[in-house]
């Protein structure tokens, strides 16, 4: 799963990317997207690792792509944006970074600091990009439907859905309001519509501002969070001991990057279940709402095929009773069947026929 970091020029996208991924700033400010995979912060793994001292610890991962900013008010910037759009369309979630920090050395885009207005400029661009793609396809389908074709019915269905999409976009509504069923989603999946993706807003606040102080909300947006990208990227560059001390001095348990990664992971509709043993302690990624047999299939297709049951214990119950044995003795280990809907942080032991 992948998030694309987008926004107006000098909003701090690359600084957020560095803070999140630990990848150093690109001194040449390359016009190409940069990618990095990060481990999803999972504090629950630490306890399990302490308990089992496993040979391996495997964390869940998530990818971030830093998209260079484009000045949308000139034709060369517009052309750059169009060139980058296919990469943005491939993401599962969008992170829109807007600037709320002042700086004499880094002039603001269009000489203004107005995070809410910048957010709305980006929103309009997303709506416009989708409207452009929808309109092109609608025109093509209308033309095709004037002649009888073998795929006539299918094209008619697609046209009817895309006409609804066009109406929504013309009313400044995102496609999440129209594309709601699994069938519809499948029908339009190849477009990679931008306003069909979950959106996280990041307000890049002045250096040293800590905690989450986002003061505005936007309709249809999964979440808006604030962070000080420059401070966060400095934190990312510290060695772990210094980092802990720095955060403690600020009265924080963790850097904002952890909050952002988790927000993206959840925003993309994902959650983790855990497995443990002396060989390996591991966090596995599954969609929210996945069942025990789907979780088993994530580990190995044999486990879903031969699924018997999932011995399940909630992480908090395990900690309360020290370990698996203790939780079992206290009756906290449940025997769940195929259709059990897994909860975030469930520890599973899948029993299956060979």
Ligand X SMILES: Nc1nc2c(ncn2[C@@H]2O[C@H](COP(=O)(O)OP(=O)(O)OP(=O)(O)O)[C@@H](O)[C@H]2O)c(=O)[nH]1
Question: Which of these segments, 50-58, 176-184, 215-223, 228-236, binds ligand X (CB under 6 A)?
Answer: 228-236
Stretch that binds ligand X, among 6-14, 44-52, 251-259, 287-295 (CB under 6 A): 6-14
Considering only 62, 68, 200, 223, the residue that binds ligand X (CB under 6 A) is 68
Q: Give which of 20, 4, 48 is closest to 274, Cα–Cα.
A: 48
Q: Which stretch binds ligand X (CB under 6 A): 3-11, 150-158, 181-189, 255-263?
A: 3-11
Q: Does 14 bind Mg ion (CB under 5 A)?
A: yes
> Please, what is the minimum distance in Å from the beta carbon of residue 236 to ligand X?
13
| Position 115 contacts ligand X (CB under 6 A) | no
Q: Which does 135 bind (CB under 5 to 8 A by kind): Mg ion, ligand X, none?
A: none
Smallest gap from Cβ 248 to ligand X, in A, equals 22
Indicate whether 213 belongs to the interface with ligand X (CB under 6 A): no
Q: Residues 303, 296: contact at Cβ < 8 Å?
A: yes
- Output phi, psi for 253, to 5 deg: -85, -30
CA-CA distance, 75 to 66, in Å (whole number)?
22
* Encoded tokens for 29: 């400010």
The residue sitting closest to Mg ion, measured at its beta carbon, is 14
DSSP H or E run through 336: strand 334-336
Q: How many CA atoms lie within 13 A of 124 on its CB side?
A: 9
User: Of these, 3, 4, 14, 123, which contacts ligand X (CB under 6 A)?
Assistant: 14
Query: Helix (H, G, I), strand (E, B), or coil: what is residue 286?
Result: strand
- What is residue 276's three-state secondary structure? coil
The stretch near Mg ion (CB under 5 A) out of 12-20, 120-128, 160-168, 302-310 is 12-20
In angstroms, the CA 279 to CA 106 distance is 50
Instruction: Please count the other Cβ atoms lying within 10 Å of the Cβ belonging to residue 352.
Output: 17
Q: In the Cβ-directed half-sphere of 286, how many Cα atoms lie within 13 Å?
A: 26
Q: Using the minimum distance from each CB to Mg ion, give the nearer residue, 28 or 146.
A: 28
Query: Which residue lies nearer to ligand X by CB, 38 or 230?
Result: 230
The footprint of ligand X (CB under 6 A) covers 7, 9-15, 29, 68-69, 101, 103, 106, 204, 207, 228-230
Which positions touch Mg ion (CB under 5 A)?
A: 13-14
């Amino acid at each position: 799963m992948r998030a694309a970091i987008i926004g107006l020029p000098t909003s701090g996208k690359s600084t957020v990317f560095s803070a999140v991924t630990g990848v150093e700033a690109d001194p040449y400010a390359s016009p190409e997207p940069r990618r990095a995979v990060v481990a999803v912060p999972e504090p629950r793994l630490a306890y399990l690792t302490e308990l089992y001292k496993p040979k391996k610890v495997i964390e869940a991962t998530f990818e971030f792509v830093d998209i260079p900013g484009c000045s949308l008010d000139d034709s060369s910037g517009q052309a750059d944006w169009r060139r980058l759009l296919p990469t943005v369309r491939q993401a599962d979630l969008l992170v829109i970074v807007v600037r709320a920090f002042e700086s004499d050395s880094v002039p603001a885009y269009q000489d203004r600091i107005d995070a809410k207005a910048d957010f709305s400029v980006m929103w309009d661009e997303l709506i416009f990009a989708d409207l452009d793609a929808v309109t092109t396809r609608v025109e093509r389908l209308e033309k095709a439907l004037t002649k009888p074709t073998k795929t006539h019915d299918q094209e008619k269905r697609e046209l009817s859905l895309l006409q609804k999409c066009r109406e929504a976009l013309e009313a400044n509504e995102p496609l999440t309001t129209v594309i709601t069923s699994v069938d519809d989603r499948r029908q339009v999946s190849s477009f990679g519509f931008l306003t069909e993706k979950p959106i996280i807003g990041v307000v890049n606040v002045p250096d040293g501002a800590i905690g989450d102080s986002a003061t505005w909300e936007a309709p249809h947006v999964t979440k808006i969070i604030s962070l000080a990208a420059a401070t966060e990227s400095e934190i990312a560059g510290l060695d772990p001991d210094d980092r802990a001390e720095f955060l403690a001095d600020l009265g924080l348990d963790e850097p904002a990057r952890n909050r952002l990664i988790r927000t993206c992971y959840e925003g993309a509709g994902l959650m983790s279940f855990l497995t443990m043993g002396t060989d390996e302690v591991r966090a596995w990624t599954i969609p929210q709402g996945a069942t025990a047999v789907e979780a088993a299939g994530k580990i190995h297709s044999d486990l879903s095929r031969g699924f018997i049951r999932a011995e399940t214990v909630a992480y908090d119950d395990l900690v309360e009773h020290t370990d698996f044995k203790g939780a079992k003795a206290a009756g906290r280990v449940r025997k769940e069947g195929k259709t059990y809907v897994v909860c975030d942080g469930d520890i599973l032991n899948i029993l299956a026929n060979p």
